[in-house]
Amino acid sequence: MLYHRISLLFGMYFMLIEKSVAQDSIPTVGVFYGRYTDQNEEYKRIVSDAIDHVDGDLRVTHLLPELNDDHEKIYYTNINQALRVGICNRIENTNLKALIVPNDICVDCRNIGGIAGDAVSPVLTTDLSYNTKAFNLYPSKEDLTDLFVSLVNYTKWRDFIIVYDHGSAERIVEGLMGQTQQYRWRVTPYQVTDLKDLRDKLKHSRVKNILLFCELEEVALNVVQMAIDEELMTDAYHWMFGNINLPLVYNQIDKIRIGRAYITRLAMDFEGNVGRFGTQKAEPLDEWPYRLRLTYDGVLAIHEAMKLHRARLGRLSPEHTSKCPNNDQANNNLKSTLEEDLQRVAFEGLSGPVSFDSKGNRVNYTINIHMGKGLTVFFHSDLRKQVLGMWTQDIRSWERSHRETWPNGNNRLYMGGFRNANLDRIRISSLVEPPYFVDDSFQGFRGFIPELLEKVKKTMEEDLGLPFDYQLELVSDGDYGRYDSVENRWSGLMATLTEGRSDIAAAPLVITSERDTAVDFTVPFMKAELGVLIMHPNWVREDIFAVMFPYNATVWVLFVVTILLIGAIIWGINQLNPYEWRKLAERGVVTEEKGDYFNVWNSPWFQTSTIFFQGFDHSPRSWAARTMSGFWFWFSLVMIFLYIFNLTPYLTASKNLARIKDIGQLMSQTTVDVGFVRDSSAYDFFRNNEIDEYRRMWEYIHSANSMYREDSAIVSRIEDGVHRVRYSNGQYALIHDRLTLIAETRQRRCSMYITGGHFALVEYGFAVPSGSPLRDQLSYVFELLHERNELEGLMNNDTWFDPEKDGPCRTGDPKLWKDQALYSLTTGDLIGIYLLLAIGMACSFGFFLIEIIAFQLGYGEGSGRYRTTRKPQYDSATNGARNEQAYMPPTSAGADEKMWL
């Protein structure tokens, strides 16, 4: 009995010894925790889940922050203190086979994980580290720099801001700044030291492209939350989140969606099933801090390396573990035998494919690139179709794993053509406005815009290596678009962008501040002149009595009365003054014929002949009549010259508008209504212009032409404006794009003329949804086309006209057409003169008939009913002898005596 009890005791003793030996043979990994990783014990639980997942083949020592005398956690701020006290002293008497070190154990230090990797072997870092012997679970600085350069080059950002914190993020900023000259970037770096200061800088900056990358993802999340709260993630911004799998929660994503900022996010390509990893964390994987996933994979990587180590050397525990060097051992080159096995690790973890190269950098992974608005910022599997592109760390590895050829040659970045409204091809909206866009039922779409899009497609594919397959559609209402503040929405072409129905608005769309708040504009693809369309002066029909307009009706009546009155005065003087012709004839000094020089009919004729500078047959003899005649001559001279000087403006009134060269002259005229096409380039130019002269012009037109009046000078369509010009008889002028007006003037009848000189230039650009990468890509293409002078002659095409509106006005001498408009007087200008001449001819012909009839009836001298007797006349040649001629009495006795005067 005693023997059995002794045997049992010995058996239990040896079992305990074997169990102790087995436990001692299980390698232990040390995991450090810092300011963020120590919160809520979340990281501690995930490490425990990973240990459980490897079936107890590893043990873990949780190296939590130490406590001071006041039982407060110690967070180091000095790198030497953090390394020697926080790391080396704590592992000095342990048998840890590997360490997992986050950078937050010393938030203010630079690259603490990398420095720990130089002191201890092996170390796995969960944050970005550089120049280290540690194994980096986070992508390397060189790979991230290449990724960011490729992405910025893809989006063709020229001006952008980099927001970063410190440490390894600073090194990436240095790498990007070194590329500025090569890519002609204008980069503004902002370091995150104070969120309020950063907020003020971003709000006051005109640059809306922002690249955010921080070494500590908690800092990046703070910046994102600040941007959401301060409305810096609105429609005008494009944020590129450089931190891999930045863990945004649903509340943040929903606010970003509502703000409509354009977002670029990076996600490690992950093909695995989360369920196969043993973890108790309930949140979706997308909401995990990426460092948390890396910590989990760090435990798995050490476990995989241990298995490889046992298979290679036949023992589980590594033989050598290098510890922190002493002061006299600064060059400690000892390293653990486990490092060789860590370099051979390859598995699919929660953070994606995990493997390392000989330098400890993570390799053979692929990062998916998400771009867009709204739900595109989620990483859920049902939105994988929104992945716009991918960047692979190693092309050959990708080809081996996918068993296909990498689609972009030797370039590690592959981006599909941007698609926002349609996943198959880019959808482009436009509207008909010759010569920019012509919809020909026989030849399809033609004009400047279709030709420009073909050049854009060629440049995109050949110079940028980006596909640019597009679908061109017309806006049904033909409207550029206006903002309705009541319904809080845009109409027309603008609505296709703001409502996500198209990717590009390609039209002669004026770049305005109001539109720029809703969409993004490219750099201008062209600058166009505004012109003023008027009716050609040759076709303007002035009032037929315009020649009478220098004087009003009262003046003309007084003028006629004055002629009659002065004639009556001259006649009275002739009848009563003894020195005048009538009294001299009565005394026989002169003949009876001379006595009638200023009778009741000849006196007004004297005034009429003198007023037209035709001279006179006889002048008065008396000083009284001559004095009256002198003042009459002065009066006639004044009236005639005043008439002549004032007649020219009335005859050339239709030509005044044709001579306008600037906006001041246009505003000074008062005879013609001036208008625009609503929401057109001219309308937007004047409405949004801050220059006083242009602003006054807008207020003048807008106040004089209320939009609610039927006779408003602001029309809805270009066709309405042209029709109004054509049939307004020169009383309406339309300000619009000169090239469009030229196309419109080709129609029958050739009755329109374009004036205006060079008083205004407008800039046209393509519009894209806010934040779309197409903005910078198209801007880059337009700059290339301008540098190559490929756009200079593109507009000089005389075939871009609407076939339904084409007419014979395309032919003829344009200089003659212009000279006629500016200088030539036409029958329309002189019709009043011809009419008055015709009236005179009619009156003359009427008097002619009356005189013929009167003569036939026997009235007048020599008609046969009278004989004349000449009274004696004084003849100086015969020294006063008188010549007499008998008076011939009427043929019938007793007839009334009549004299035809």
pLDDT of residue 881: 42
Answer for the pair 124, 302: CB distance below 8 angstroms, yes or no.
yes
User: Distance (Å, rounded) from C-alpha 766 to C-alpha 523?
Assistant: 8
pLDDT of residue 867: 47
pLDDT level of residue 892 (50, 70, 90 thresholds): very low
Between 868 and 408, residue with greater pLDDT: 408
Question: Is pLDDT above 70 for 878?
Answer: no
pLDDT tens-digit series, residues 319-370: 555 567 654 444 456 678 888 899 999 999 888 899 999 999 999 999 999 8
Answer for the pair 234, 330: CB distance below 8 angstroms, yes or no.
no
User: Distance (Å, rounded) from C-alpha 460 to C-alpha 467?
Assistant: 7
Q: Would you call 16 helix, strand, or coil by DSSP?
A: helix
Question: Is pLDDT above 90 for 121?
Answer: no
pLDDT level of residue 195 (50, 70, 90 thresholds): very high
pLDDT of residue 479: 82
Answer for the pair 672, 732: CB distance below 8 angstroms, yes or no.
yes
Q: How far is CA 618 from CA 90, 419, 452, 581, 589, in A?
A: 138, 97, 81, 10, 16
pLDDT level of residue 244 (50, 70, 90 thresholds): very high
Answer for the pair 135, 71: CB distance below 8 angstroms, yes or no.
no
Q: Average pLDDT, stretch 174-198?
A: 92
Question: Is pLDDT above 80 for 190?
Answer: yes
Kindly report whether the peptide bond that precedes residue 325 is cis, defined as omega within 30 degrees of 0.
Answer: no
User: Distance (Å, rounded) from C-alpha 7 to C-alpha 14?
Assistant: 11
Dihedral sign (CA 586, 588, 590, 593): positive
Q: Phi, psi (5° rounding) for residue 563? A: -60, -45
pLDDT tens-digit series, residues 199-236: 999 999 989 899 999 999 999 999 999 999 999 988 77
pLDDT tens-digit series, residues 367-398: 999 887 765 566 554 444 467 889 999 999 99
pLDDT of residue 641: 86
Answer for the pair 583, 589: CB distance below 8 angstroms, yes or no.
no
Q: Average pLDDT, stretch 97-122?
A: 88
DSSP class of residue 396 equals: H
Question: Is pLDDT above 80 for 538?
Answer: no
pLDDT of residue 21: 40
Single-letter code of the amino acid located at 805: K
Answer for the pair 782, 522: CB distance below 8 angstroms, yes or no.
yes
Between 81 and 813, residue with greater pLDDT: 81
The secondary structure of 729-787, three-state, reads CCCEEEEEEHHHHHHHCCCCCCCEEEECCCCCEEEECCEEECCCCHHHHHHHHHHHHHH
Q: Which of 162-166, 314-318, 817-821 has the lowest mean pLDDT?
A: 817-821
Q: How far is CA 756 from CA 261, 697, 735, 812, 869, in A?
A: 42, 14, 9, 21, 75
User: Distance (Å, rounded) from C-alpha 499 to C-alpha 847?
Assistant: 81
Q: Phi, psi (5° rounding) for residue 321? A: -135, 115
pLDDT tens-digit series, residues 547-585: 788 888 888 899 888 888 888 888 888 888 888 877 788
pLDDT level of residue 599 (50, 70, 90 thresholds): confident
For the beta carbon of residue 467, count every other beta carbon within 10 angstroms.
Answer: 15
Q: Around 123, how many Cα atoms within 13 Å sit in the side-chain half-sphere?
A: 28
Strand 526-535 vs strand 752-755: parallel, antiparallel, or unpaired? antiparallel
pLDDT level of residue 173 (50, 70, 90 thresholds): very high
The secondary structure of 669-737, three-state, reads CCCCEEECECCCHHHHHHHCCCCHHHHHHHHHHHHHCCCCCCCCCCECCHHHHHHHHHCCCCCEEEEEE
Between 690 and 868, residue with greater pLDDT: 690
Q: Average pLDDT, stretch 272-292?
A: 76
Question: Is pLDDT above 80 for 460?
Answer: yes
For the beta carbon of residue 758, count every other beta carbon within 10 angstroms.
Answer: 11
Answer for the pair 110, 79: CB distance below 8 angstroms, yes or no.
yes
Question: Is pLDDT above 80 for 655?
Answer: no
Q: Average pLDDT, stretch 439-448?
A: 80
Single-letter code of the amino acid located at 224: V
Token digits of residue 359: 């330098």
Question: Is pLDDT above 60 for 4?
Answer: no
Judged on CB neighbours under 10 Å (0-12, 13-18, 19+), 880 is exposed
Strand partners, 761: 529
Q: Would you call 381 helix, strand, or coil by DSSP?
A: helix
User: Distance (Å, rounded) from C-alpha 631 to C-alpha 1?
Assistant: 170
Q: Phi, psi (5° rounding) for residue 123? A: -125, 135
The secondary structure of 14-60, three-state, reads HHHHHHHHHHHHCCEEEEECCCCCCHHHHHHHHHHHHHHHCCCCCEE
Q: Average pLDDT, stretch 494-505?
A: 86
For 149, the enclosing helix (H) or strand (E) is helix 141-155
pLDDT of residue 75: 86
User: Distance (Å, rounded) from C-alpha 128 to C-alpha 487?
Assistant: 48
pLDDT level of residue 806 (50, 70, 90 thresholds): low
Sheet bearing 470-474, strands edge to edge? 470-474, 426-430, 504-505, 767-769, 519-521
Question: Is the pTM of the predicted complex or chain greater than 0.85?
Answer: no
Token digits of residue 151: 């992405």
User: Distance (Å, rounded) from C-alpha 305 to C-alpha 299?
Assistant: 10
pLDDT level of residue 667 (50, 70, 90 thresholds): confident
Answer for the pair 773, 418: CB distance below 8 angstroms, yes or no.
yes
Arithmetic mean of pLDDT over the chain: 80
pLDDT of residue 891: 38
Could you tell me which residues come within 8 angstroms of residue 218 by beta carbon, excluding any fewer than 6 positions away? 36, 104, 289
Question: Is pLDDT above 80 for 281?
Answer: no
Token digits of residue 759: 């008083």
pLDDT of residue 893: 36
Question: Is pLDDT above 90 for 858?
Answer: no
pLDDT level of residue 299 (50, 70, 90 thresholds): very high
Answer for the pair 473, 427: CB distance below 8 angstroms, yes or no.
yes
Question: Is pLDDT above 60 for 153?
Answer: yes
Q: Around 786, how many Cα atoms within 13 Å sit in the side-chain half-sphere?
A: 11
User: Distance (Å, rounded) from C-alpha 240 to C-alpha 869?
Assistant: 122
pLDDT of residue 766: 94
pLDDT tens-digit series, residues 735-768: 888 888 887 777 666 777 888 767 788 889 999 8
Strand 767-769 vs strand 413-415: parallel, antiparallel, or unpaired? unpaired
Q: Average pLDDT, stretch 620-634?
A: 84
Strand partners, 490: 483
Q: What is the DSSP string of 447-501?
A: SHHHHHHHHHHHHIIIII-----EEEEE-TT-----EETTTTEE-HHHHHHHTTS
Torsion-angle region of residue 542: left (phi > 0), alpha (psi -120 to 50) or beta? beta
User: Distance (Å, rounded) from C-alpha 157 to C-alpha 209?
Assistant: 7
User: Distance (Å, rounded) from C-alpha 798 to C-alpha 794?
Assistant: 11
Question: Is pLDDT above 50 for 31?
Answer: yes
pLDDT level of residue 72 (50, 70, 90 thresholds): confident
User: Distance (Å, rounded) from C-alpha 632 to C-alpha 621?
Assistant: 16
pLDDT of residue 22: 42
